Structure 1
Amino acid sequence: MIRAVRVLPPLLLAAALLTGCGTEKAGPGASGDSGAPADPAELASKAKALGIAPEMVYVTDAPGFTLAQQSVGVQGDDGFSASYADRTGAVIHLYTDHLRYAGQHKYEVSEKGCVVWLEGEGGVSGAVLGKALRAVHRPTAGELDTLLPTPDPAFTDDQPVQRGDLPTNGDGGPPDNSVPTPGL
């Protein structure tokens, strides 16, 4: 079975180039916080725990849209992605990556090697996408708490996760390879 791939109309796609990625001043966010910039050490700790380069973390504000926390993650090798949804099911996707991104979109080159772009789906108007694009900024302290989880200090890459549900010896019993007899 072949699935048809839907391509978003050009009006719903927007690209923004932010020169000097990681150096922009944070503006007040939709979370209502004071707009104080996020602590760089805390941002670095949280981002690196997820495999994201700290200078790639950005947020946006769009009227009626809220961050879908489960959408936050890595874009490419160490870029960033997040999605914002409204009550109607419309979604704005925010992506950042190094300029080596070579997809269907074309971007101008930035002197600092970072690009931020937005894509809309599910009825996001060009006007709303434009407002969200102009509102892209580095996270404030309040936004960072919502955006990225605090890393668990007990977890490190060199320690395997302890499940606790497996028996200490063997696999918990001999395998049952019997075949049931029909009708019995």
Structure 2
Amino acid sequence: MIRAVRLAAALPLLLALSACGTERAGESGGAPAGPAPDRAALEDRLRALESAPELIHVTDVPGFELAKQSVGPSGHDGFQSTYVRIPGGAQVRLVVDRGELSADTCPAAQVDSAGDAAVVCEQEGDATWYRTAGGRHEYARAEDGHIVRIAADKSVDRATLRTAAEAAHRADDRELDAILPEAVPDAPPVERGDLPPVGDGAPNNDVGASG
């Protein structure tokens, strides 16, 4: 089922991340040293996230840290996360969704969070575009049937976006372990106090003598 993007491009809570536990996922996007993660547990976390594993990417943004609260799905089975400058609060958003991007279609595809503002495309390389619209800009790279986008408002300079776009890559197991939310166990059924101990379990709606 097609789902709407679950997180807005700008997350108000990220403005206070320095006080609520923004975490560094690693020096090159999220892979700390240590033993290999448990694969079964990792697959549980992947299923809970509902993003296709091949679309989960990480990057390294100089001066920015991954906000683990922002990690989540995008669209049908895509992926998104936000990196935040600490201090300062500027945000760089990484979004990976299925699709195609070409010189012909680039001007018609909206820039992240820029609404219907006119898009200007500047091609860099065979499958990478620098795109601007309104107060937003992004690098978009087409590869293997999906588009990797690195976007920000213009308080983040183009060189920083380019560096982050060049560093963006599919997460390996260690990086997945560093960035994926923990899987939440299935909650037990809620007990109702109005069910009789015998019979078919229908609610007990008997009326008292005064009713």
Same topology, TM > 0.5: yes
Aligned equivalent of 2:147: 115
Pick the structure with more strand per residue.
2
What is the aligned counterpart of 2:193 among 168, 171, 176? 168
Query: Tell me, which stretches of 5 or more residues in structure 1 are unaligned?
Result: 1-27, 156-160, 171-184
SS in 2 for 1:85: strand
RMSD value, Cα: 3.6
Aligned equivalent of 2:57: 58
SS in 2 for 1:119: strand
Aligned equivalent of 1:82: 81
Aligned equivalent of 1:17: none
Q: Deviations over 1:54-81 (max 9, x none)?
A: 1110001011111111111111111000
Aligned equivalent of 2:14: none
What is the aligned counterpart of 1:151 among 158, 161, 183? 183
- For 1:149 and 1:52, the matched residues in 2 are separated by 12
Q: Deviations over 1:129-153 (max 9, x none)?
A: 111111101224443223112324x
| Alpha-carbon distance change, 103 to 75 in structure 1, aligned in 2, over 3 angstroms | farther
Deviates more, 1:44-53 or 1:64-73: 44-53
Aligned equivalent of 1:131: 163
**Residue type at the aligned position of 1:69:** K
| Alpha-carbon distance change, 38 to 139 in structure 1, aligned in 2, over 3 angstroms | farther
* Percent pairwise identity: 35
Q: Deviations over 1:58-117 (max 9, x none)?
A: 001011111111111111111000000012111000000100697414796956211111
- For 2:29 and 2:100, the matched residues in 1 are separated by 31
Taking structure 2 as the reference length, the TM-score comes to 0.52
Taking structure 1 as the reference length, the TM-score comes to 0.59
**Residue type at the aligned position of 1:126:** R
- For 2:49 and 2:42, the matched residues in 1 are separated by 11
Aligned equivalent of 1:73: 72
- For 2:98 and 2:151, the matched residues in 1 are separated by 17
- For 1:98 and 1:144, the matched residues in 2 are separated by 20
- For 2:168 and 2:194, the matched residues in 1 are separated by 53
| Alpha-carbon distance change, 162 to 79 in structure 1, aligned in 2, over 3 angstroms | same
If asked which structure has higher relative contact order (CA below 8 Å, sep 6+), I would say 1
SS in 1 for 2:73: strand
Total equivalences in the alignment: 138
SS in 2 for 1:96: strand
| Alpha-carbon distance change, 163 to 65 in structure 1, aligned in 2, over 3 angstroms | farther
**Residue type at the aligned position of 1:89:** G
